[in-house]
């Protein structure tokens, strides 16, 4: 009897709150709760976006050649070039702009346009040949500027109805084209700015990429394909990371040979071609070593922002690599070996005494 009474109490409580339980699935439909869900969705989307570098699509432009298949009208099937003005010259409709559109956007646009001439048009459009791309790279690279890279290559028009892309310009390739990075480059926070498609909101999108793991560990997940119009910014690191510098010099990211200029109290002066990763002490040794009475070293480096880094220090052949007294050299560095005060005095005495000795030599010859 007691057990039956307990069951009845539970049933009455459930019956009392059944209306509230039925309302729970409907809470997201309420504007207040829907707004909360949108905020959560936005946060989740942002988290996903941080893990995925880009959710962008290829945008067509002048120089691209597309294959357009007209079902039931094979006479129109052909490869069509997007002209310098961004237009396609197509049967019946003549010129139509295709620049800045994705394949999906162009397909939708042409299907809507051809409804006037074709019953239920269902065009099939693929890229037959990609154009070359132009990218701009700035920041901590040795040669910032505008670069033109070969566009993606494909094998034939079709292969089992799937176009095979065999190569595409990547972020690593662009940095190599700019003669590599400086010792101050922050490879863990490279910014890439890209034109966004109209169907995805238009404007520009930006992503921060980490290529340091590629240099250190070979992780290629952040080595994205580049698209026409991309801008790459390599920021300056707050401090020079020795492990990063050494890893870069072991990789093929930077050129194998650098050019530095050595002057002053050294056996071989002038332009010097050195292997990447060479330090100041190694450079002096490879140019015959310092002469007697060598004093301070003057070191000059032209930075990417136009300023000049200048350091002055005593020569120390025991200085550790990538230290103030023994920096890892970069293209264009200047090293000047100064003489000591005694060395300068000796040089002056030599210049003054030289005519006297020469005169005495002539006198001894004629007498």
Do 198 and 221 fall into the same domain? Answer: yes
Instruction: Note whether 335 and 283 are within 8 A (CB).
Output: yes
Q: Is the pLDDT of residue 72 over 50?
A: yes
Do 296 and 228 fall into the same domain? Answer: no
Do 181 and 269 fall into the same domain? Answer: no
Do 264 and 337 fall into the same domain? Answer: yes
Range of the domain at 280: 257-342
Do 297 and 230 fall into the same domain? Answer: no
In a domain, 261, yes or no: yes
- pLDDT for 198 equals 85
* pLDDT tens digits, 11-41: 445 444 444 444 444 444 444 433 444 333 3
In a domain, 298, yes or no: yes
In a domain, 318, yes or no: yes
**Which of 186, 206, 237 is the C-terminal boundary of a domain?**
237
Domain of 80, CATH number, reads 3.30.1950.10
In a domain, 161, yes or no: no
* pLDDT tens digits, 193-224: 999 988 888 899 999 999 998 988 888 999 99
* Sign (positive or negative) of CA dihedral 172, 177, 179, 181: negative
Do 205 and 269 fall into the same domain? Answer: no
CB atoms within 10 A of CB 114: 22
pTM: 0.69
Do 223 and 184 fall into the same domain? Answer: yes
- pLDDT for 271 equals 93
Residue that has been written with the tokens 């006037």 in this structure: 116
- pLDDT for 294 equals 87
In a domain, 336, yes or no: yes
Beta strands in 42-168 (DSSP E): 65-69, 78-81, 87-90, 94-97, 124-129, 133-139, 145-149, 153-159, 162-167
Domain of 180, CATH number, reads 3.10.560.10
Do 287 and 195 fall into the same domain? Answer: no
Domain count within the chain: 3
In a domain, 225, yes or no: yes
First to last CA, the chain: 149
In a domain, 247, yes or no: no
In a domain, 224, yes or no: yes
Do 231 and 265 fall into the same domain? Answer: no
Do 308 and 268 fall into the same domain? Answer: yes
């Amino acid at each position: 009897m007691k057990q039956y009474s307990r069951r009845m109490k539970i049933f009455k409580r459930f019956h009392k709150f059944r209306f509230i339980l039925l309302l729970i699935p409907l809470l997201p439909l309420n504007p207040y709760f829907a707004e909360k869900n949108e905020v959560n969705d936005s946060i989740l989307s942002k988290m996903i976006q941080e893990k995925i570098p880009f959710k962008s699509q290829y945008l067509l432009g002048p120089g691209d050649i597309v294959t357009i298949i007209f079902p039931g009208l094979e006479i129109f099937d052909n490869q069509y070039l997007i002209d310098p003005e961004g237009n396609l010259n197509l049967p019946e409709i003549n010129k139509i702009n295709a620049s800045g559109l994705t394949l999906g956007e162009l397909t939708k646009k042409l299907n809507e346009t051809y409804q006037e001439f074709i019953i239920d048009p269902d065009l099939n459009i693929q890229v037959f040949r990609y154009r070359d791309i132009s990218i701009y790279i700035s920041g901590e690279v040795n040669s910032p500027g505008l670069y033109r890279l070969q566009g993606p290559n494909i094998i034939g028009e079709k292969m089992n109805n799937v176009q095979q892309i065999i190569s595409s310009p990547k972020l690593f390739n662009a940095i190599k084209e700019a003669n590599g990075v400086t010792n101050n480059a922050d490879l863990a926070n490279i910014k890439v700015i890209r034109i966004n498609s109209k169907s995805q909101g238009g404007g520009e999108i930006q992503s921060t990429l980490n290529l340091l793991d590629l240099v250190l560990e070979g992780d290629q997940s952040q080595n994205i394909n580049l698209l026409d119009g991309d801008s790459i910014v390599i920021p300056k690191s707050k401090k020079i990371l020795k492990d990063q510098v050494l890893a870069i010099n072991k990789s093929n990211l930077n050129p194998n040979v650098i050019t530095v200029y050595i002057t002053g109290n050294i056996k071989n002066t002038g332009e010097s071609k050195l292997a990447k990763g060479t330090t100041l002490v190694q450079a002096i040794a490879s140019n015959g070593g310092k002469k007697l009475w060598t004093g301070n070293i003057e070191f000059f480096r032209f930075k990417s922002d136009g300023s000049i880094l200048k350091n002055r220090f005593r020569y120390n052949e025991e200085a550790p690599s990538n230290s103030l007294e023994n920096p890892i050299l970069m293209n264009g560095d200047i090293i000047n070996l100064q003489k000591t005060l005694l060395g300068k005095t000796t040089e002056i005495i030599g210049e003054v005494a030289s005519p006297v000795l020469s005169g005495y030599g002539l006198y001894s010859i004629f007498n």
